[in-house]
Structure 1
Amino acid sequence: MLVTGCVPAAPSAHVPVKPLPPLRAATVPPAAPQSTPAPAAPSPRATPATLVRSDFSVAGELEQGGWIRGRVPSGTVSARLGDEPVRFDAIGHFFAGFDRNAPESETLFATLSNGQTITRTLAIAPRQWRIERVNVPMRKGGPSAAFMKIRRPELAAINAARAEQTDADGWKQKFIWPVKGRISGLFGSQRIYQGVPGAYHSGIDIATGESGTPYVAPADGVVVLASQKPFSLEGNLLIIDHGMGLNSAFLHSSKIVVHQGEHVKQGQLLGYIGSTGRATGPHLHWSLKWEDSRLDPLLFTGPMP
């Protein structure tokens, strides 16, 4: 039987995602009709849109590979999660994520315009990853000079794409599956070679059994990379920026139908599944990153329908 994917994997239990509605500013109710005495105008500080926030408001999936959305305290001029800067919009909404190897707690910091610092410590739930222990040594020696001559420009293009900041706001949305199929590779799975850990699987592999199956955008975004020729490992590679440092990568496509700089909407056709690059069969590898943290797509979508 052919196993398609980047690494072997098997089904595992998953905690259902608690979807959040898109964040939006509250609106002020209309004034009373002129035919009746109008109530006294409320103080601006009493309206939901302008209430002074003395702390972070946070909701999401507080576990390894998870994410949060929320608002920074009023008057914030800069924010960070640990040492990672956190971007926020004009009314204080932000997005952040927790790496697969995140510690048991992370701290949010906000620096206010008056110089005050506000902190919020978050408990991060650990995960039980699928670990496969094999009694063979890890292959010794790094990649050849000939391979790295090809690989360095590819890595530079990937890093440059992920560093782009666009006006995308897909980070506010409830994500959908880009394609439905068998999950043949789980995020975070890993092999241990005679006690030496190998690299963990950075995304989810979705196998459909054949090349040419279409896949769509899981959320709104901007195309920041659409490879014109296959990369050595990723094959035909597509990266979509969802805003606030969050991006999706789609690997091994047989064909990509969107172009760099294009704005895409949730559910829009992006390309077709294939097995280009280093792949054992036709499948879509979908990975998510926030800044330098790798995130679990299952915590954005919930279980496969």
Structure 2
Amino acid sequence: MFLDGQPVTRASDGGFFYLGFDRDAGPKAAIRVDGRGGEASRVLEIGKADYDVQRIKGLRQVYQGQASPELEARIADESRRKAQAFASRVEHDDFRGGFSAPLRDFRVTARFGGQRIIDGRPRPPHYGVDLAAPRGTPVYAPAGGLVVLADSDMLFEGGLVMIDHGQGLVCAYLHLSEVDVMRGARVARGERIGAVGATGRATGPHLCWRLKWRGRNMNPMLMVGVPGPA
């Protein structure tokens, strides 16, 4: 499959592939699919979305002033591990039936893509959806996939699980109080993967749910309830 003339992915054995557009995508995109029976092309028009502005005060500081060499080394190592997980390219198509919500009951406290102003300073957009729920609330895999990172003590994210749901469509589940899966495990849709917490850099109990596809930040809520192809 080609996007604006560049190869981006290939279909699974069942013929399914994922294509997504991030927060800052342009107004149009040209896609081309090549197959045994020929090729098909289409130009897509991409609608604009409105994003919130959120002001946050009192967020826990990881360090004040200059970080120690040990802390800098930890940040670099965790950044490398997260980048490696987001670079996963599992040749499955667990995404094909859409997602269930990872929590049974929740309140959205921050939508995807909003501008954040933390203690008066503008920060990059928030590329996740914050789902507030009591500490200990079970978190379930919204679709099947391969666990590509599982750690209960990341500096910024706290308890973190990352799952490749197929073809590099990787979800991250942040601030968990419990991590119930291990790296390399296959999980099924609806399987418990952890519990809501306020670990890492968080102001209160919630699940920050993030989704990335091949370097593009996606809104995971847009996948909830999507029916599978006929």
TM-score range, shorter chain: 0.7 to 0.9
Contact kept? 1:171, 1:244, Cα under 8 Å: no
Question: Which residue of structure 2 aligns with residue 93 of structure 1?
Answer: 16
Q: Which one of 41, 44, 47 corresponds to residue 122 of structure 1?
A: 44
Out of 177, 197, 202, the residue aligned to residue 274 of structure 1 is: 197
Structure 2 SS opposite 1:243: coil
Between the aligned partners of 1:182 and 1:298, the Cα distance in structure 2 is: 13
Q: Report which of the two has the higher share of strand.
A: 2
Q: Residue 204 in 1 paired to residue 129 in 2?
A: yes
Aligned residue in 1 for 2:73 = 149
Deviation at 1:117, TM superposition (A): 7.8
CA RMSD of aligned residues (A): 2.6
Matched residue, 2:181: 258
TM-score by length of 1: 0.63
Contact 2:21 2:216 in 1 (8 A): yes
Q: Which residue of 1 aligns with 2:214?
A: 291
Q: Residue deviations 1:97-140, cap 9 Å, x none?
A: 00011110112134678xx9864221001101113589xxxxxx
After TM superposition, the structure 1 = structure 2 runs for residues 162-181 of structure 1, keeping only pairs within 5 Å, are 162-179=86-103, 180-181=105-106
Counterpart code for 2:18: F
Does the CA-based 8 Å contact 1:105-1:124 persist in structure 2? Answer: yes
Q: 1:102/1:261 Cα in 2 relative to 1: closer, same or farther (>3 Å)? A: same
1:168 and 1:220 in contact (8 A); partners too:
no
Q: Structure 1 residues 117 and 177, CA, compared in 2 at 3 Å: closer, same or farther?
A: closer
- Which segments of 5 or more consecutive residues in structure 1 lack a partner in the other structure? 1-78, 135-142
Alignment of 1:1-305 (within 5 A): 79-82=1-4, 83=6, 85-90=8-13, 92-110=15-33, 119-131=41-53, 144-146=66-68, 147-179=71-103, 180-191=105-116, 198-208=123-133, 210-227=134-151, 229-301=152-224
Q: 1:157 is paired with a residue of what secondary structure?
A: helix
What amino acid sits opposite 2:127 in the alignment?
S
Q: 1:85 to 1:177 in 2, by over 3 A?
A: same
- Provide the aligned length of Structure 1 versus Structure 2: 211
TM (normalized to structure 2)? 0.82
Distance (Å, rounded) in 2 between the aligned partners of 1:123 and 1:148: 43
Question: 1:236 offset after TM fit, Å?
Answer: 1.1
The Cα offsets for residues 189-246 of structure 1, whole Å up to 9 and x where unpaired, read as 10469xx9521111111111x311111010111111001x411111111001100120
- Structure-2 change in CA distance of 1:93 and 1:148 (3 Å): same
| CA 111–167 in structure 1, closer or farther in 2 if over 3 Å, else same | closer
C-alpha contact 1:176 1:219 (8 A) present in aligned 2: yes
